[in-house]
Amino acid sequence: METIIPLNIRTLLSESEYRIPIYQRNYAWGVAEVTQLIQDVADYAKENQNNDYYIGTLVVFPHESERYFETIDGQQRTTTLTIIACSIYQNYSNGLPWYKAVNISFDHRERSNETLRAIYKSDSQHINPEQVSTEIMTVYNCVWNIIEKECKNRSLSVSDFIEYLFKKVIILRVSVPSDTDLNHYFEIMNSRGEQLEQHEIVKALLMSILRDSPEDMRAFSLIWDACSNMGRYVQMNISKSIRGYFFKDNGIDNVEEDFNTLSTNLSSIDWKQPKEEKCLIDLFKDDLQQVPYMKPWEKQDHDEEQPEYYGSVISFSNFLLHVLKVIYPQNEDIVLDDKKLISIFSACYKVASDKEQFVKDFITKLLRLRYLFDKYVIKRKFEKWSLKKIKLSGKDKLYYGSTFQRIENEEDNFEKDVIMLQAMFHVSLPSQIYKHWLSAVLLYTYRTTNISSRDFSQYLWSLAKSYMLDRYLAGENSIYSFEEIIYDNHGLPQNGSNNINWSNINIDIVEKAGEKVENFVFNFYDYILWKEKKTPNFEFAYRTSVEHFYPQNPIDNKLIKFKFLHSFGNLCLVSNSMNSKFSNSLPAAKYSNFGTDSEVLGTYSLKLQNMMQSMRDHDKWDEDKIKSEADEAKSLLMKYLFQ
Lowest-pLDDT range of 63-67, 146-150, 158-162, 230-234: 63-67
Q: State residue 317's pLDDT score.
A: 93
Q: State residue 528's pLDDT score.
A: 96
**CA 325 centroid distance within chain:** 13
Supply the DSSP string of 198-245, one letter for each residue: HHHHHHHHHHHTTTT-HHHHHHHHHHHHHHH-TTS-GGGGS-TTTHHH
DSSP secondary structure letter of residue 474 = B
Q: State residue 318's pLDDT score.
A: 94
Lowest-pLDDT range of 160-164, 200-204, 621-625: 200-204
Query: Is residue 69 classed as helix, strand or coil in its secondary structure?
Result: strand
Higher pLDDT residue, 454 or 289? 454
Give the Cα separation of 273 and 565 in Å (integer). 72
pLDDT in tens, 565-574: 889 999 999 8
φ, ψ (nearest 5 deg) of residue 611: -65, -45
Residue pair 426/378 in contact (Cβ under 8 Å)? The answer is: yes
Supply the DSSP string of 78-131, one letter for each residue: HHHHHHHHHHHHHHSTT--TT--S--EEETT-HHHHHHHHHHHHT-GGGS-GGG
Give the Cα separation of 266 and 446 in Å (integer). 26
Q: State residue 300's pLDDT score.
A: 45
pLDDT in tens, 449-475: 999 999 999 999 999 999 999 999 998
Query: Is residue 2 classed as helix, strand or coil in its secondary structure?
Result: coil
- Count of alpha carbons within 13 Å of 165, Cβ hemisphere only? 23
Give the Cα separation of 150 and 157 in Å (integer). 10
Q: State residue 545's pLDDT score.
A: 84
Taking residues 362-374, report their average pLDDT. Answer: 97
The predicted model scores a pTM of: 0.72
* Neighbouring-strand partners of residue 5: 173
As a whole number, the mean pLDDT across the chain is 85
Residue pair 419/387 in contact (Cβ under 8 Å)? The answer is: yes
pLDDT in tens, 535-557: 888 999 988 888 889 988 888 87
Looking at the predicted structure, is the pLDDT value of residue 9 above 90?
Answer: yes
Angle 383-387-391 from CA coordinates, rounded to 5°? 125
Taking residues 570-582, report their average pLDDT. Answer: 81
Q: What is the CA radius of gyration of the chain?
A: 30
Highest mean pLDDT among 37-51, 311-325, 328-342, 376-390: 311-325
Looking at the predicted structure, is the pLDDT value of residue 380 above 70?
Answer: yes
Burial label, 272 (beta-carbon count in 10 A; 0-12, 13-18, 19+): exposed
Lowest-pLDDT range of 169-183, 294-308, 603-617: 294-308
Looking at the predicted structure, is the pLDDT value of residue 28 above 90?
Answer: no
* Structural element, H or E, at residue 402: strand 398-402
Q: State residue 293's pLDDT score.
A: 59
Percent of the chain with pLDDT over 70: 86
Angle 583-587-590 from CA coordinates, rounded to 5°? 60
Higher pLDDT residue, 131 or 349? 349
Taking residues 135-161, report their average pLDDT. Answer: 92
Looking at the predicted structure, is the pLDDT value of residue 149 above 70?
Answer: yes
Lowest-pLDDT range of 36-45, 118-127, 174-183, 268-277: 268-277
Place 161 in a pLDDT band, splitting at 50, 70 and 90: very high
Q: State residue 302's pLDDT score.
A: 42
Looking at the predicted structure, is the pLDDT value of residue 513 above 50?
Answer: no
